Amino acid sequence: MTHYSPVAWRLLVTPPADGATNMAIDEAILHALADGRGRPTLRFYQWDPPCLSLGYNERCTDVDEAACARLGYTWVRRPTGGRAILHTDELTYSVVAPADEPRVAGGVVESYRRLSAGLLAGLRALGTDAVQAQTEKIANRRQGAACFDTPSNYEITVGGKKLVGSAQVRRRGIVLQHGTLPLTGDLDRIFACLNVTGLSPSRKTSLLDSACTLEQALGRIVSFEEAVGALVQGFASALNLRLEPGDLTDYERSLAERLRREQYASDDWNRRI
């Protein structure tokens, strides 16, 4: 286990928001930190209404927009990579820290490993037998449009099934990593809002075979608040953090409003591919 010197980070638990707002807030925290007007931050949040998020390089044609509208879902393009995620009945976390911070040091895979220690400790505190996946030999096999199709290196699995999916971006000397912990519900719902023409029934079934919710892992429903409490404890203990509850600053709110308006709610961004 890696040992770190103690340090204080800000803890944010923000109200549920739409997809464009959530992505704008994450990026605003990154820019505020790069501008010398922010703090390293661990954030937890939810999505309202449910939202399909696409990875940075995914095709917008993967979205079945008519189905999303019929179901009351929105969709947005993330600043991070990876594949599509349907955000509903879940906890989402984000970490924003300088790239030279020891807890995110190294390349993408190494920083995944370091931050996953906090997730792992929190999930074990809830009673799961979660482990870090090490899947170099299988990570690129049989991947489809859905993020939970296959675990990546150092993502969290339970009984061989992916439980937490994460993605990362690095800009201006700052690391932003965010990820999804499904709390309950049918993971197969994502197929209802993707264009999956030609996808065989066995490929749809494979998502359920390779991923699970926290409810499935524990045999009970865990509330957002209980999950946040456990993960706060996990990050604090595994990464030797003093997590200080706070709020977005006026500067961050202003940045987020502009990023939402000019980027994440814009067709120029969401339909750029």
Average pLDDT of the residues in 2-20: 96
For residue 2, being part of any structural domain is answered with no
**Cβ(193)–Cβ(67) below 8 Å:** yes
Instruction: Report pLDDT digits (tens) over 93-144.
Output: 999 999 999 999 999 999 999 999 999 999 999 999 999 987 543 344 344 4
pLDDT surpasses 90 at 209: no
Q: Are 9 and 241 in contact (CB under 8 A)?
A: yes
User: 31-45 pLDDT, tens per residue?
Assistant: 999 999 999 999 999
Q: Are 43 and 88 in contact (CB under 8 A)?
A: no
> Could you tell me how many helices (H) and strands (E) the chain has, helices first?
8, 11
Q: Let me know if residue 1 belongs to a domain.
A: no
Beta bridge partners of 87: 51
Flag whether 137 is in a domain.
yes
Note the pLDDT tens digit of each residue in 161-182.
Answer: 999 999 999 999 999 999 999 9
Q: With CA atoms as reference, report the closest residue to 60 among 165, 145, 143.
A: 145
Q: CA-CA distance, 70 to 161, in Å (whole number)?
A: 30
Question: What's the confidence (pLDDT) of residue 140?
Answer: 40
On whether residue 184 sits in a domain, the answer given is yes
Residue 158 belongs to a domain:
yes
Q: What range does the domain containing 174 cover?
A: 7-270
3-state DSSP assignment of residue 20: helix
Residue 135's DSSP bridge partners are none
Q: How far apart are CA 91 and CA 144, in angstroms?
A: 23
pLDDT in tens, 14-37: 999 999 999 999 999 999 999 999
Burial 72-109, CB ≥16 within 10 A → b, else e: ebbbbbbbbebbbbbbbbbbbbbbbbeeebebbeeebe
Question: pTM of this prediction?
Answer: 0.92
Kindly state whether residue 249 falls inside one of the protein's structural domains.
Answer: yes
Compute the average pLDDT of residues 240-263: 98
Q: Mean pLDDT over all residues of the chain?
A: 91
Q: Is 51 a catalytic residue?
A: no
Q: Which among 51, 60, 68, 147 is annotated as catalytic?
A: 147
- How many domains is the chain built from? 1
* HSE-CB for 110 with a 13 A CA cutoff: 10
Is 179 part of a structural domain of the chain? Answer: yes
253 in any annotated domain: yes
The CATH number for 141's domain is: 3.30.930.10
Residue 242 identity: R
